[in-house]
Chains A and B, each alone.
Chain A
Amino acid sequence: MMREDSAPTELVIRQAHILDPGSGLDGVMDVRLSSGRISEVGEGLHGPRELDAEGLHLFPGFVDVHAHWRTPGREDEEDIESGSAAAAAGGFTGVVMMPNTDPVVDRPVMVSGLVRRVERESRVRARVSAALHVGLAGERLTEMRLLKEAGAFCVSDDGLGTASAGVLRNGMLYAHSAGLPVFLHCEDHTLATGVVHDGVAASLAGLPGSPASAEDAATATALILAAETGAKVHITHVSTALSAALVGFFKERADVTADTTPHHLTLTDDLVSTLEGLYRVNPPLRPDGDRGGVEAALREGILDFVATDHAPHASEEKELPMEEAAPGFLGHETAFAALYTDLVLTGRLSLTRLVETMSCAPGEWVGEGGSLRIGAPADLTLVDLSEEWTVGRETLISRSSNSPYLGRTLTGRVVGTIVGGEPVHDRTGARFGVRA
């Protein structure tokens, strides 16, 4: 973490509206941070260093279990410094980095190297996911126990999925032995032959479609294998109503969690008619029926949390016809505002549930953060729920600008992010000034 050695080790944040569903906190209070941890929550707290946060909301720091920081290999698109700065700007205090880099993170020496770099370069707590199979080629398993020793947090096939159910089953069994969660991208490539959702919008546009079954069939396979092997499995970016229902069916039968993304909760395949490569993403944006099904599953707790699948791409990979564009959206910086604007302000999701799904539940999954209980790491996010801002290339901190919300005016903005008691993002100026 970037910390100044000379910085005082205590900070009192005063008069913020503190909301932490996991700790049962909901009201205007003060919080004291000491030695990087939450030490006291209550009224009338004072200290040598105070921060006046009246009018702001304070949440446990958001945790994003799905980020592509393009390191190693595509540092022109993002690196640990810029990715973590973007995460901090979005209120994220913890992130899991995906292994589908170039080269793929499939060897212990790469994991240990990334872990060391994260300590020096990341503003937020970043965990390293290693690949589930060598080169993400779907054949040989990686050295999972050595990867874990090197500091890997989980193993993943993200970006491609695992073509062979047999390899996936062995991967789950071995990861179970190694004590590593398995983080899965569910996609059947014999069905996913298109570039957008195979629906009415695709057929009118003349774009090759990938049917929902490409995700559903692979999700069903993964869930069945999770139940059979007993592995700790996480299904990422659930985008269809049926896949969400399948997750629900297996909740009691397997050690399974699942997330969906801000873009699958707020955007639909209506954007296909723009024909713009910017809007290509995998899994593809779905019709509103699926979007609504995923939203309901998140509301009801069938889907456990939100993860952004932050996927930076250079402009030359996105300013192309849809069929030639690289799939993926930026996610960190707009996640909270997009969900707050489209789901909370419209009454479809409570602010409490949003905080549960962005902070508490993913924090619990990674085993750290996402809570303001006494003694927890002082990872927290300050948000101005009334601020309106327009997403633009110049407002984005990421090294790339492929946000599907470019040009959109959103409500709710992260004004400060604190990791281990120290600010890692602060765009408030005088408003967020620390009074000594």
Chain B
Amino acid sequence: METRSFLTLEDTSREDLREVLDLARAYAGGHVREALAGKTVCLAFFEASTRTAVSFELAAKRSGADVISLSEKGSAIAKGESLIDTVVTLDRLGADAIVLRHPSAGAAALASHHTAAPVINAGDGCGQHPTQALLDLYALSDALGGFEELAGRRLTIVGDVLHSRVARSVIPGFVRAGIEVSLVAPRTLLPPDAGAWGLPVLSSVDDAIEWGADVLYMLRLQRERMTGARIPSVAEYARFYGVARRHLHSGLLVMHPGPVNRGVEISGDVVLDASSLIPDQVAAGICVRSAVLALSTGVAQRAAA
């Protein structure tokens, strides 16, 4: 069976995206059971994570895989074993897939050079978080009536693009799906040349609404960046870069990869509003990650999609 690593969405085609989403949809409909029976999925988390780790674990277990979890506490990782040595060990122990979370960009690619088993990037530094982008596409497709409905929609990514691995995966993902994407962030939280993604940069959430955004994709503002040199205050940030009830109108959807900072990038009464897709994003994680595991281990071939 052909295996493949999932490291980045940068060079993923529209067809690749559709393949994952179609398989995820089939799995959500109940075809997931025993898809990964007999397979061993290793979760190697070199960085604290709750929702992504739980989501991958559920995705693997519901599709019948054995799951081994290695977190930074109480494992070789805590004893100072190097990334390469850890993944080589998991590989030789017979892992069929290694799900890797790591604080440094490029860690998943580096790991994949040393293993026979496919590596699935569950977030590496400020680099990539491809399964997040896939589940976002799944949740948004569902809300809009299908993958084809994404093309031509307008979506604004708001917040700390500079330090966001989510942004680096959702931008190519959304663009490939045909969505028109713009960015809103202060220059201190934007990469130079706005990342050279060729996306328009708007100055506030109000401007995004005026631009005609159908979707606001809010990024989490890391706590350590709330004070200090990059933004003057949480109050000023929330005023210009947060979404509040006053922004909501029929047809506007709000997304957030979680965990949210209520009152910072999103006001408390928006989080669970009807316009919020946040719970749907979380739910989509399981079937999407089952599909990624199935495709990466080769149990689901391209034709199955």
The answer to whether A155 has its CB under 8 Å from any CB of chain B is: no
Are A321 and B105 in contact, with the CB atoms below 8 A? yes
The answer to whether A275 has its CB under 8 Å from any CB of chain B is: yes
Contacts of B10 in A (CB 8 A): 204
Contacts of A5 in B (CB 8 A): none
The answer to whether A65 has its CB under 8 Å from any CB of chain B is: no
Interface of chain B residues 144 through 182 with chain A (CB within 8 A): 162, 165, 168
A276-B106, A321-B107, A323-B104 known; A206+B196 contact, CB < 8 A: no
Are B196 and A322 in contact, with the CB atoms below 8 A? no
Scan B113-139; emit 1 where CB is below 8 A from any A CB, else 0. Answer: 000000000001111100000000000
Are A275 and B192 in contact, with the CB atoms below 8 A? no
A396 to chain B, nearest CB (A): 21
The answer to whether B110 has its CB under 8 Å from any CB of chain A is: yes
Q: Which residue of A lies closest to B126 (CB)?
A: A206
Question: Given B82, B105, B168, B195, which contacts A322 in the complex, CB threshold below 8 Å?
Answer: B105
Are A275 and B109 in contact, with the CB atoms below 8 A? yes
Give the B interface residue count (CB, 8 A).
Answer: 25
A206 to chain B, nearest CB (A): 4
A277 to B104 Cα, complex, angstroms: 11
The answer to whether B102 has its CB under 8 Å from any CB of chain A is: yes
Contacts of B104 in A (CB 8 A): 320-324
Question: Given A206, A316, A319, which contacts B105 in the complex, CB threshold below 8 Å?
Answer: A206
The answer to whether B224 has its CB under 8 Å from any CB of chain A is: no
Majority secondary structure, B binding face = mixed
B163 to chain A, nearest CB (A): 8
A289 to chain B, nearest CB (A): 13
Are A275 and B196 in contact, with the CB atoms below 8 A? no
Are B168 and A206 in contact, with the CB atoms below 8 A? yes
Interface of chain A residues 399 through 419 with chain B (CB within 8 A): none
The answer to whether A165 has its CB under 8 Å from any CB of chain B is: no
Contacts of B124 in A (CB 8 A): 206, 321
Q: Which residue of A lies closest to B111 (CB)?
A: A321
A417 to B126 Cα, complex, angstroms: 47
Contacts of B126 in A (CB 8 A): 206-208
Interface of chain A residues 276 through 298 with chain B (CB within 8 A): 276-277
Given A203-B195, A275-B105, 20 extra CB contacts under 8 A: A198-B192, A199-B192, A200-B193, A203-B192, A203-B196, A205-B105, A205-B106, A206-B105, A206-B127, A206-B165, A207-B106, A208-B126, A209-B191, A275-B127, A276-B106, A320-B82, A320-B104, A322-B104, A322-B106, A323-B106
- What are 9 pairs between A and B in contact, CB < 8 Å? A199-B192, A200-B195, A202-B191, A205-B105, A207-B125, A209-B191, A275-B105, A275-B110, A321-B107
Q: Which residues in A have some Cβ–Cβ distance to B below 8 Å? A: 198-200, 202-209, 211, 275-277, 316, 319-324
Q: Which residues in B have some Cβ–Cβ distance to A below 8 Å? A: 10, 82-84, 102-107, 109-110, 124-128, 162, 165, 168, 191-193, 195-196
